[in-house]
Amino acid sequence: MNETLSTEVSVPAINGERLWQALMELALIGATPEGGCNRQALTELDREGRELLIRWCEAEGLIVRFDAIGNLFARRDGSNADADPVVIGSHIDTQPTGGKYDGCFGVLAALEVIRTLNANGIETERPIELVSWTNEEGCRFAPCMMGSGVFAGQLTLEDALSRTDVDGITAGEALAAIGYVGDDANRPGQFAAYLEAHIEQGPILEDEGKTIGVVTGALGLKWFDVTVTGMAAHSGSTPMHLRQDALLGATRVVEAVNRIALAHQPDGRGTVGAFQLLPNSRNVIPGQVTLSVDFRHSEGEVLEAIVNEFRQTLNAIARETGLSIEIAPTADYPPQHFAADCIAAVRQGALANGYAHRDIVSGAGHDAVFIGDIAPAAMIFIPCEKGISHNESEYATPEDVTAGANVLLHATLNLAGPVAGAVA
């Protein structure tokens, strides 16, 4: 990181109007009646979105390539051809009732950074690669973060390509159908740094009146299925003291999840999001309840402690009620701690522009969380209205979109080393 950037180099401002117009133009591809966007991965609309992005990249003189899972890379050469690139971007696929900003902001902010460098004749030492990862949302083809997951070795290419949609079409067939099967030889080598700008998808920045979130990492998560088993019986003929009511025990589990998460603030999260009753009949005492449990925290040891406390609580509930309670893990991702020099470059970008900012931990998954395992990475958050996303009403203000891109530009220059054009 170039510590002297802020004093030796005058960084130009990005063109907020040009960036906003690009966001609105991309959002026309798959536009929904309620003002959102439905451009799911590996569909015909995804192909159209990619074509527009490629056209914009090529107009800036970038060299566009694809790897075998269809991740797009667009290279702007640096003065040092041997230097590892600074990679910036996100994704352009959306949820079925998605918004205009989730993912697209990060890709188009990266494009705007390159447009600004070109317009101002600024050369960097390191190459800059714009990236648009395939299928971040994971709605047509699971899992989410598929392109970055394959890139980072979280899942194999064969596994990803064999995943099917509801019609039985494989991701491999869909990728071939839109014409974006590339070659892994097209990938950039080791990343010097990866930066991803994104809407927060949560309410914290708006609540505190902050413009920029300096993202220091992402919450780890542990998921479980919990099964509480009692005895189904007639609701009229079974006296209260002779019942084994699985639902009564399950409500205590729900309460415990909430209580344990609340005891580990500010980063603890605990959620029961799915709940099934057997037999689910008005006049039968519930015999079995299955529920999902989602625990998250920013520190691995704390997440471990949360789960230990939860297991002990389940044992106590089982002892006190006579119910049988089983717990089965279904997913386990450790917390991500982003790289100190990338975080510092983002913070410096916010400071240099005079934006109100705070450190923040991402509660949601992002491509940067996988890339952070294989390269120095960080993220830039901007507020989104009421924290709403994955929704057609998702909204970020033009001012915040502009601010996020200015921070991305500053951090990118910091990490890529400006060599010409920007010196004051």
Contacting positions for Zn ion (CB under 5 A)? 102-103
Shortest Å, Cβ 98 to Zn ion: 9
The sign of the torsion formed by the CA atoms of 38, 39, 44, 48 equals: positive
201 or 288: CB nearest Zn ion:
201
Could you tell me the smallest distance in angstroms from the CB atom of residue 132 to Zn ion?
A: 11
Structure tokens at 105: 């902001």
Cβ at position 108, least distance to Zn ion in Å: 13
Amino acid in position 104: C
CB of 89 to Zn ion, least distance (A): 11
Nearer to Zn ion, 93 or 299 (CB): 93
CB of 173 to Zn ion, least distance (A): 25
Residue 356's Cβ-side half-sphere holds a number of Cα atoms within 13 Å equal to 11
Nearer to Zn ion, 95 or 313 (CB): 95
Exposed/middle/buried for residue 324 (C-beta within 10 Å: 0-12, 13-18, 19+): middle
CB of 209 to Zn ion, least distance (A): 24
CA distances from 262 to 195, 201, 255, 296 (A): 32, 21, 11, 12
Q: From CA 225, how far away is CA 137, in angstroms rounded? A: 23
319 contact partners, CB below 8 Å, separation of at least 6 = none
203 prior amide bond cis, ω within 30: no
Q: Minimum distance from CB of 90 to Zn ion (Å)?
A: 6
C-beta closer to Zn ion: residue 103 or 147: 103
Give pairs for 232-238: CB < 8 Å, separation 24+: 232/278, 232/279, 232/284, 232/285, 232/286, 232/287, 232/288, 233/284, 233/285, 233/287, 234/283, 234/284, 234/285, 235/282, 235/283, 235/284, 235/285, 236/283, 238/285
Question: Smallest Cα–Cα separation from 333: which of 308, 312, 363, 313?
Answer: 363
Please, which residue, 245 or 367, has the CB nearer to Zn ion?
367
**Minimum distance, C-beta of residue 103 to Zn ion, in the bound complex (Å):** 4
**What is the nearest approach in angstroms of Zn ion to the Cβ of residue 197?**
11
- In terms of CB distance, is 105 or 295 closer to Zn ion? 105
**Ordered DSSP codes for 241-257:** GG---HHHHHHHHHHHH
Please give the residue whose beta carbon sits closest to Zn ion in the complex: 103
Residues composing the chain: 424
Q: Which is nearer to Zn ion, 102 or 392 (CB)?
A: 102
Identity of the residue, 368 or 422, whose beta carbon is nearer to Zn ion in the bound complex? 368
Distance between CA atoms of residues 244 and 241, nearest Å: 9
C-alpha to C-alpha distance for 362 and 347, rounded to whole angstroms: 16
Nearer to Zn ion, 67 or 93 (CB): 93
Contact between residue 9 and residue 410 where contact means Cβ atoms under 8 Å apart: no
Quick one: 92 or 314, whose CB is closer to Zn ion?
A: 92
Nearer to Zn ion, 132 or 244 (CB): 132
**Nearest distance from C-beta of residue 262 to Zn ion, angstroms:** 28
Q: What is the dihedral of CA 247, 250, 255, 260, to 10 degrees?
A: 180
* Residue 41 exposed, middle or buried by CB count within 10 Å (0-12, 13-18, 19+): buried
Least distance (Å) from Zn ion to the CB of residue 223? Answer: 20
